[in-house]
């Protein structure tokens, strides 16, 4: 046997047979599970030993003295799932148990798409949010990260700094171009947020204020991020007829700023371009071939969540919600709004035309009297005594009655395109959801089922039923791949020395239960969840433990 072959064999054996732990006691041993370690390597039957917040043995750990033994026979033991795209920022302050995430096997949430929990400076007033039964105010991202730890959370959290938030600190609700002083303030705030612990800059450039930025504007801010080793995460400018140019823009930003790029929930969300995902993949593969680190994530559903106000053209949002509502009430302005909604505006992703103007493909998800109804049903009810009514006028009235905001689920992309994206080795998974609950104050509205079922759905539908992914690759996409994207150290794998974030599930039964019309249902099959070595989910029951931490860059 050559030395190289001997060395490889030795390393493989060393990785499987942990050093003897017989001389010391540990806190937890997970016995006899099907270990999928997060790297993509084949599963094996073995044990995991945990002491304090760290894994101290993986493989054959021997007969150690443990305070708690978890029998994982017949179950899969994997790293805790990392939700690459989460909106739990403020819900975690209300209830840190993160029920709908923990019960999916999620141990870390990555927050801050477009808008982040800091900074709130300049023209943005200090943030005031509900914290338990009281409220707290803060101005910087570091204040928020300290607050969630002080409050107590069941999941770990990491955060980007949001482009929308940075922009409005300098510009408020104005649609004017920033001055050089405004840009210097934005650069200063990005630098400060990165020092506060942000993992990068995240944008939502489909609607204002993010859509007010130019490509060069974002490159300029990303260069600050690059100095700190951060990433650019982007909800691209157009997911419909402008999807190709929008992906090219994201690539250009990464290439010129010298930062990695992660495209948020990659999709083709206009029926006219359905089936063209291979062309999007070709753009990304071409960039990667020339050395641009561009990747993406998806959620495993063909409907997205936005707002009815996204149907209102960007120009009508200038000045904030109050000004938008004034425009909706003005009869002359309504005529311009209707023309732009039905005909579109160059470069604007129009949710109305993306679904072919089909109100039945819009489901109200917000916390209001219309929740759970499709918009065609809403329109039918509202026009019962006036069947000739203009439905866009009805849209305006609905927004006025609901203070300009009605959460809505849009059926706008296809399973075929989504599946093809999911299969790519650089595509991971994020829920685009929040930590809701099926009871109490966090049972609100009619939320998208991804809030409750994203990760069990990947394992139950796309691994077990459709066999689109192997178990090992699916676990890699929801653990180590996400950790690597934002540079989370010592997480996302089952390895000695790594933090003990662990999810144990039944691969034969794991599945999502949440549905569009009945979303408040937890998944099944996720048996145990440990966060930083603490048992948070025990036989599918939340222990009320809150060992989560803020994971700063």
pLDDT tens per residue across span 474-487: 999 999 999 999 99
Which backbone phi and psi does 443 adopt, to 5 degrees? -90, 95
Given a cut of 50, whether residue 30 has pLDDT beyond it is: yes
- CA-to-CA separations, 263 to 176, 278, 405, in angstroms, rounded: 27, 16, 26
* 426/84 Cα distance (integer angstroms): 13
Given a cut of 90, whether residue 549 has pLDDT beyond it is: yes
* 365/430 Cα distance (integer angstroms): 20
Average pLDDT for the chain: 94
* Percent over 70 (pLDDT), the chain: 96
Average pLDDT of the residues in 390-408: 95
133 vs 4, more confident: 133
Q: What is the pLDDT of residue 23?
A: 58
Residue 366's pLDDT band (boundaries 50, 70, 90)? Answer: confident
Q: What is the pLDDT of residue 369?
A: 83
Given a cut of 50, whether residue 2 has pLDDT beyond it is: no
Given a cut of 50, whether residue 531 has pLDDT beyond it is: yes
* 209/99 Cα distance (integer angstroms): 32
Region at 235 (left for phi over 0; alpha for psi -120 to 50; beta for the rest): beta
pLDDT tens per residue across span 207-221: 999 999 999 999 999
Q: Please answer whether residues 394 and 382 qualify as being in contact, where contact means their C-beta atoms are separated by less than 8 angstroms.
A: yes
Q: What is the pLDDT of residue 416?
A: 97
Residue 134's pLDDT band (boundaries 50, 70, 90)? Answer: confident
Residue 12's pLDDT band (boundaries 50, 70, 90)? Answer: very low
CB within 8 A of 150, min separation 6: which ones? none
Domain positions in the chain are: 306-411
How long is the chain? 553
Residue 371's pLDDT band (boundaries 50, 70, 90)? Answer: confident
- Sort strands 526-531 and 427-429 into parallel, antiparallel or unpaired: unpaired
Least confident of 3-17, 398-412, 468-482: 3-17
* 281/273 Cα distance (integer angstroms): 14
Q: Which strands, in side-by-side order, build the sheet including 156-159?
A: 81-83, 106-111, 156-159
Q: Please answer whether residues 292 and 255 qualify as being in contact, where contact means their C-beta atoms are separated by less than 8 angstroms.
A: yes
Q: What is the pLDDT of residue 232?
A: 98
* CA Rg value for the chain: 24
CA atoms within 13 A on the CB side of 319: 8
Query: ∠104-308-238 over CA atoms, to 5°?
Result: 80
For residues 93-123, one letter each, b for 16 or more C-beta atoms within 10 angstroms of the residue's C-beta and e for the rest, the string is bbbbbbbbbbbbbbbbbbbbbbbbbbbbbbe
* 67/25 Cα distance (integer angstroms): 8
126 class by beta-carbon count within 10 Å (0-12 exposed, 13-18 middle, 19+ buried): middle
Least confident of 1-5, 228-232, 341-345: 1-5
Given a cut of 60, whether residue 468 has pLDDT beyond it is: yes
Q: What is the pLDDT of residue 119?
A: 98
Q: Which residues pair with 134 in a beta bridge?
A: 131
* DSSP SS3 for 79: strand
* 65/89 Cα distance (integer angstroms): 39
At what angle are helices 180-196 and 215-227 packed, to 10 degrees? 40
Q: What is the pLDDT of residue 368?
A: 77
pLDDT tens per residue across span 243-298: 999 999 999 999 999 999 999 999 999 999 999 999 999 999 999 999 999 999 99
Q: What is the pLDDT of residue 24?
A: 76
CB within 8 A of 525, min separation 6: which ones? 456, 459, 460, 505, 506, 507, 508, 509, 510, 511
* DSSP secondary structure letters along 503-540: EEE-TTT-B----SSS-----BSEEEEEETTEEEEETT
Q: Which residues pair with 110 in a beta bridge?
A: 158
Q: What is the pLDDT of residue 11?
A: 41
Q: Please answer whether residues 268 and 277 qualify as being in contact, where contact means their C-beta atoms are separated by less than 8 angstroms.
A: yes
The H-or-E segment that residue 485 falls in is helix 480-486
Q: What is the pLDDT of residue 7?
A: 44
* 220/319 Cα distance (integer angstroms): 25
Total Cβ atoms within 10 A of residue 518: 11
* DSSP secondary structure letters along 360-427: GGEEE-SSSTTTT-BHHHHHHHHTTT-TT--HHHHHHHHHHHTTT--EEEEE---HHHHHHHHHSTTE
CB within 8 A of 536, min separation 6: which ones? 102, 154, 529, 530, 542, 543, 545, 547
Tokens, residue 480: 């180590």
* 41/257 Cα distance (integer angstroms): 34
* DSSP secondary structure letters along 4-37: HHHHHHHHHHHHHSPPP-TTSEEEEEEEEEEE--
* 22/158 Cα distance (integer angstroms): 36
Average pLDDT of the residues in 415-422: 97
* 44/198 Cα distance (integer angstroms): 36
Given a cut of 60, whether residue 1 has pLDDT beyond it is: no
* DSSP secondary structure letters along 129-162: EEETTEEEEESSHHHHHHHHHHH--SSEEEEPEE
Average pLDDT of the residues in 359-379: 90
Given a cut of 60, whether residue 20 has pLDDT beyond it is: no
Tokens, residue 181: 């002083």
Q: Which strands, in side-by-side order, build the sheet including 427-429?
A: 161-162, 200-204, 231-235, 261-263, 294-298, 427-429
Secondary-structure percent of the chain, ordered helix, strand, coil, rounded to 5: 35, 20, 40
Q: pTM for this one?
A: 0.92
């Amino acid at each position: 046997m050559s030395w190289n072959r001997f060395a490889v064999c030795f390393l493989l054996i060393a990785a499987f047979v942990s050093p003897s732990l017989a001389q010391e006691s540990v806190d937890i041993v997970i016995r006899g599970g099907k270990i999928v370690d997060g790297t993509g390597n084949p599963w094996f039957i073995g044990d995991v030993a945990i002491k304090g917040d760290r894994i101290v043995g993986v493989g054959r750990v021997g007969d150690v003295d443990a305070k708690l033994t978890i029998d994982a026979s017949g179950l899969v033991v994997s790293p805790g799932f990392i939700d690459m795209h989460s909106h739990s920022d403020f819900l975690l302050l209300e209830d840190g148990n993160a029920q709908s995430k923990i019960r999916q096997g999620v141990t870390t949430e990555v927050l801050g798409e477009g808008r982040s929990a800091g900074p709130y400076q300049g023209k943005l007033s200090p943030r005031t949010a509900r914290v338990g039964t009281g409220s707290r105010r803060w101005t910087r991202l570091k204040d928020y990260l300290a607050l969630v730890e002080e409050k107590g959370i069941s999941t770990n959290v990491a955060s980007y700094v949001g482009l929308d938030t940075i922009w409005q600190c300098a510009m408020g609700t104005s649609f004017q171009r920033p001055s050089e002083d405004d840009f210097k303030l934005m650069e200063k705030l990005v630098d400060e947020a990165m020092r506060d612990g942000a993992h990068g800059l995240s944008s939502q450039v489909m609607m204002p204020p993010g859509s007010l930025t130019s490509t060069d504007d974002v490159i300029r801010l990303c260069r600050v991020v690059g100095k700190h080793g951060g990433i650019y995460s982007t909800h691209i400018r157009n997911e419909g007829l402008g999807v190709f140019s929008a992906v090219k823009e994201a690539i250009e930003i990464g290439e010129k700023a010298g930062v990695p790029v992660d495209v948020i929930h990659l999709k083709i969300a206009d029926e006219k371009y359905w089936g063209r995902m291979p062309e999007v993949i070709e753009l990304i593969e071409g960039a990667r071939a020339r050395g641009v680190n561009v990747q993406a994530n998806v959620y495993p559903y063909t409907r997205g969540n936005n707002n009815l106000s996204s149907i209102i053209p960007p120009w009508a949002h200038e000045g904030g919600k109050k000004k938008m509502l004034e425009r909706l009430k003005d009869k002359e302005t309504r005529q311009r709004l209707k023309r732009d909604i039905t005909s579109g505006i160059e470069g604007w992703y129009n949710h109305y035309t993306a679904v072919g103007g089909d109100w039945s493909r819009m489901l109200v998800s917000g916390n209001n009297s219309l929740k759970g109804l499709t918009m065609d049903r809403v329109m039918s009810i509202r026009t019962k005594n006036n069947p000739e009514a203009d439905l866009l006028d009805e849209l305006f009235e609905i927004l006025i009655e609901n203070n300009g905001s009605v959460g809505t689920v849009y059926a706008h992309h296809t399973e075929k395109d989504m599946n093809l994206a999911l299969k790519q080795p650089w595509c991971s998974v994020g829920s685009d959801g929040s930590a809701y609950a099926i009871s109490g104050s966090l049972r609100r509205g009619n939320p998208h089922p991804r809030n409750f079922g994203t990760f069990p759905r990947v394992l139950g539908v796309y691994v077990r039923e459709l066999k689109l992914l192997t178990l090992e690759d699916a676990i890699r996409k929801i653990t180590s791949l996400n950790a690597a994207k934002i540079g989370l150290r010592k997480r996302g794998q089952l390895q000695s020395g790594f933090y003990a974030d662990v999810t144990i599930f039944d691969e034969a039964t794991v599945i999502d239960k949440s549905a569009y019309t009945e979303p408040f249902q937890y998944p099944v099959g996720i048996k145990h969840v440990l966060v930083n070595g603490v048992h948070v989910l025990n036989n599918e029951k939340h222990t009320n433990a809150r060992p989560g931490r803020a994971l700063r860059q």
